[in-house]
Amino acid sequence: MNRETVVLSTTSDFSGWRAWARKLLHERVAADSIRWIVKNPADLYAPSATRVLPAAPSTTSVPRSLAALFPAVFVSEAPERFRLLYITLQTLRDNLPVPDELAERLTGLATESRKRVLDLRCQMPDARNPDWQVVRTFHASALIDSQAAALADLRPAPWVITAPERTLCWNGQEYLFGPGLEGDISNSSEVIAAARNIATAGAGNVWWHGIAPVRLHPDATDIASSSSLPGLRGKAIDCRMCDLCGPATRTVSGEGNPAARIIFVGEQPGDQEDLQGRPFVGPAGQLFDRALKEAGGNRAQAWITNAVKHFKFVPKGNRRIHQKPDAAEITACSPWLATERKILAPKVTVMLGVTGASAVLGRQVTVSRERSRHIPLADGSIGLVTVHPSYLLRLPDEESKTREYTKFVTDLRMAISALAG
């Protein structure tokens, strides 16, 4: 029997596998006649490189539910993964049902890969420290490669990932791939310098084009099952619970002290929050920080989040104009906030504005009627409604700004004093 040998450039070379699989399926080459091997080309880590892949018409239509498994199966460490995926395409090409045993095997491999994806994401620090951060891991290079874009969304500030067979750098603008670091370097500054020196393959190197991202596709049940804040954040980056995920840059999760006894719930990320991947860092966030400090609070000891995790806006020239989320969008995002509060179990929840209050209380709220008083919450904790700091920025004159800012600080001081009760 004649055998076809297909050489892939890396274990994450999904575009190469797909191009060759399409050609071989078109030529009706049987799965048992194909030998898939991985061999790194000489210019794999060069700043620029070219490549020629075979071109052939597609002979197969893959159901969406099955197609969603392919990237996760591809980055698994199962030796037979390339063959299993090819057999799946071959079966579909011949208009045959995918055997239950094969479907179960693919699902099992995909499930294990997604668990490892979440584990890697949980290792990623948030962006509170804007300096370069180092993440040391033992995950397989294919899985790391599949998460490059997601990890850049999780932490827009610079970072380095080092693993035995892969170095991945994100400099805040692009990610660059390199081989594993040689030797045992303990000093973080030296790791960063060495990683940036060897991670040189980026957008100009075609060997790294077409890496299939592995997504987690969280639903309400999956969200509710989360038991840690890093796990919740790792899942949230793939949120598709409503249409706001399309135009927004990224999901913006809460941040702060995971042992916080007080949390602050705002409306949604703004322009700067969307870009920086952090809640309350724009003008309203800066005002909030000043007021909280004046009230005797400390942001580093609190948890800051929003009812809606994506920025809703309309473009106007070079600007993005904030739009208020509607009831459907607040409802769609509610599992994230509910699980966040369940994990944190705070003593006091401060609701900043009508959207934050409505999301926590589960009903329509008029801030002027309900602010500045303790509200018993269903979990036995204390709630307090006040204005959103962006309201203070919109006031027309200095006199009203000063008056309302003083009331806002008083509300925050009331919330902080409730911690001692």
Q: Over the stretch 197-221, which tens digit does the pLDDT of each residue have?
A: 999 999 999 999 999 999 998 999 9
pTM of the model: 0.95
Say yes or no to pLDDT of 2 above 70. Answer: no
The contacts of residue 251 (CB under 8 Å, 6+ apart) are 153, 236, 237, 238, 239, 245, 309, 310
Q: What is the domain count for the chain?
A: 3
Last residue of one domain, picked from the residues 118, 135, 170: 118
Where residue 284 falls among pLDDT bands split at 50, 70, 90?
very high
**Residue 59: its pLDDT value, please?**
86
pLDDT band, very low/low/confident/very high, at 1 (cuts 50, 70, 90):
low
- Whether the CA torsion 402, 408, 412, 418 is positive or negative: it is positive
Q: What is the dihedral of CA 207, 209, 212, 215, to 10 degrees?
A: 130
Question: Residue 398 has what pLDDT?
Answer: 93
Two structure tokens written together for 67: 């197609």
* Structure confidence at residue 326 (pLDDT): 94
37, part of any domain? yes
What is the pLDDT averaged over residues 224-239? 97
Residue 315's DSSP bridge partners are 320
Give the Cβ contact number of residue 57 at 10 Å. 8
Summarised one tens digit per residue, pLDDT across range 83-128 is 999 999 999 999 999 999 999 999 999 999 999 999 999 999 999 9
Answer yes or no: is 381 within a domain.
yes
Mean pLDDT of the chain: 96
Range of the domain at 23: 4-118
Average pLDDT over residues 297-303: 96
Among residues 80, 97, 118, which one ends one of the domains? 118
Residues 103 and 127 in one domain: no
Residues 198 and 270 in one domain: no
Mean pLDDT of 49-62: 93
Domain end call among 118, 138, 167: 118
The verdict on 99 and 179 lying in the same domain is no
The strands making up 262-266's β-sheet, listed across from edge to edge, are 255-256, 303-306, 262-266, 348-352, 382-386, 374-376
How confident is the model over 342-362, as pLDDT tens digits? Answer: 999 999 999 999 999 999 999
Does 30 have pLDDT greater than 80?
A: yes
Residue 186: its pLDDT value, please? 84
Average pLDDT, integer, range 29-49: 96
Same domain, 262 and 371: yes
